[in-house]
Amino acid sequence: MTGPVAGFWWVPPRQSHDERIKMKVAVWSLVVLLIILHQDIWLWDNATLVGGIIPIGLFFHACISLAAGVIWFMATIYAWPVEDAAEAATHQPGKGGDA
């Protein structure tokens, strides 16, 4: 999905301008989908236990948390403002070095 690790983070493969726009739209669509899924009216009164331990409503929302991590990971790769990345690469921190 991604290119090599640059510094401490992943960078996307080379893409055309149109491809970059498409990926941004895809990422933000996933964020919207996540917000819709968060409402999960379909499990409102379902008391099933997943694995005999976790109520399915809670399990679903734990999955929402994990999915949020994955989608935000994609956002940092495909929807991160390009100029920030460039700026960060040239930025010299102030006194004190790495805290």
> Which residues of this chain interact with other proteins, rule CB under 8 A?
7-9, 31, 34-35, 38-41, 44-47, 49, 52-55, 57-58, 61-62, 64-66, 68-69, 72-73, 75-76, 80-81, 83-85, 87-88, 91, 93-99
**Rounded CA gap, 49 and 46, in Å?**
9
| 90 and 49 Cβ atoms separated by less than 8 Å | no
* Smallest separation (angstroms) from other proteins to the CB of 19: 21
Least Cα distance to 67 among 38, 39, 40 occurs for 38
* Smallest separation (angstroms) from other proteins to the CB of 40: 8
Cα dihedral 21, 24, 30, 34, rounded to 10, equals -140
Taking the least distance from each CB to other proteins, the nearer of 4 and 94 is: 94
| 8 and 60 Cβ atoms separated by less than 8 Å | no
* Smallest separation (angstroms) from other proteins to the CB of 53: 5
